[in-house]
């Protein structure tokens, strides 16, 4: 019986020391560094969540800028074509804005 108690005590000590092995690495500098890392990741002004939200906003704004640059290029091309083609410019002025020459009469019909 004494031998069984001794083996049980040895087993208990081994289990206790194996559980406490990781505690020897938890010194106060490591705990401080881990605390600072947790603070910086989750509670500071530049935390991970805010950074991902800001990155999403930046991506949306870049897409909007690209869209606006594309539409700007389209309208610049259209303006250049109107400046070079006088007949087309005159046609658009007559149809959309109801302009006319001095010696003309314009009749506008609204058919619905």
Residue 26 lies in a domain: yes
pTM over 0.85? The answer is no
* Unique residue bearing structure tokens 């990155």: 55
Residue 110 lies in a domain: no
User: Cβ contacts of residue 99 below 8 Å, gap of 6+?
Assistant: 93
User: Cβ contacts of residue 100 below 8 Å, gap of 6+?
Assistant: 94, 106
Task: Return left, alpha or beta for 31; rule: phi > 0 is left, psi -120 to 50 is alpha, else beta.
Answer: alpha
33 and 64, same domain (yes or no): no
Tokens representing residue 59 in the block:
């991506």
92 and 64, same domain (yes or no): yes
pLDDT tens profile 40-76:
888 877 788 888 999 999 999 999 999 999 999 999 9
3 and 38, same domain (yes or no): yes
Tokens representing residue 69 in the block:
């640059």
12 and 40, same domain (yes or no): yes
Residue 30 lies in a domain: yes
* pLDDT at residue 31 greater than cutoff 60: yes
As a whole number of angstroms, the distance between CA 27 and CA 19 comes to 16
Quick one: pLDDT band at residue 22, thresholds 50, 70, 90?
Answer: low
66 and 33, same domain (yes or no): no
Residue 82 lies in a domain: yes
Residue 92 lies in a domain: yes
Residue 2 lies in a domain: yes
The total of structural domains in the chain comes to 2
Domain range for 15 is: 1-44
Please tell me which residue, 108 or 88, carries the higher pLDDT value. Answer: 88
């Amino acid at each position: 019986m004494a031998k069984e108690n001794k083996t049980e005590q040895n087993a208990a000590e081994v289990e206790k020391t194996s559980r406490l092995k990781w505690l020897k690495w938890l010194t106060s500098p490591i705990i401080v560094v881990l605390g600072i890392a947790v603070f910086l990741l989750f509670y500071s002004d530049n935390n991970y969540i805010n950074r991902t939200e800001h990155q999403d906003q930046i991506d949306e704004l870049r897409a909007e800028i690209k869209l606006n640059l594309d539409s700007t290029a389209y309208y610049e091309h259209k303006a250049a074509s109107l400046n070079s083609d006088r007949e087309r410019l005159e046609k658009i002025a007559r149809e959309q804005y109801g302009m006319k020459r001095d010696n003309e009469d314009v009749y506008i019909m609204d058919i619905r």
